[in-house]
Amino acid sequence: MEPFIHGLLLALGLILPLGVQNIFIFNQGAIQPSFKKALHSSLTASICDTLLILLAILGVSMIVMQYDWLRFTLIGIGVVFLIYMGIVAWFAKSSTLSDAQIVQMSTKKQIIFALSVSLLNPHAILDTIGVIGSSSLVYTGAEKVIFTATCIIVSWSWFHGLCFAGRMLKKIDTSGKFLGALNKVSAIIIWFTAIYMSLSLL
């Protein structure tokens, strides 16, 4: 039970804070015409998190982040994506219109955006390496497998839960006012994240 509880608390602690990735998944659940269509974003984020967790525990990503040019490239690309995502979120239409009138993000864009906020966020990568990767060092064999599996299960459950919560909010917030305000708040948080990431290049 020790590696299970450890992995559960650790993964929850890393994934709970309000960030670009969580906001994006939640928004997609709210604005897509069906839960099935919104799953593209939560599935992509879950797969990316699984990849990062496995890389962190296997130690591969530690080698990648040793190269400054690669780290700067990742940050630069991430900043550009975040600025664009902020613009999209700010001007997104609220759900006061019918589903047919709202211009939802295409499947391709959902996947690209989910990839960008998951894999082009160096802080998320460093958190995964520094916390999950280093924490896994205390386990071996079956215990390490349990620890790894628990972190991955928490990730998948959280992102799909966020997507579902966004869908439920859309049904409750029939006026669309809350979702409209959420889009503006999301855009501001995304832009602040881009600024913070840009400062790390200096």
Closest CA to 184 of 39, 23, 42, 29: 23
Residue 189 contacts residue 20 (beta carbons within 8 Å): yes
pLDDT digits (tens, 9 = 90+) for 113-139: 888 777 776 666 766 766 777 677 778
- Whether this prediction's pTM lies above 0.75 is answered by no
Residue 174 main-chain phi, psi, to 5 deg: -70, -25
pLDDT at 159 over 50: yes
pLDDT digits (tens, 9 = 90+) for 30-39: 877 777 888 8
Read off the pLDDT of residues 43-66 as tens digits, 9 standing for 90 and up: 998 998 898 888 888 876 566 567
pLDDT at 147 over 70: yes
Calculated CA dihedral for residues 49, 54, 59, 64, nearest 10 degrees: -40
What is the chain's mean pLDDT, rounded?
75
CA atoms in the 13 A half-sphere facing the CB of 136: 23
Note the Cα 7 to chain centre separation in Å: 18
Find the mean pLDDT for residues 106-111: 79
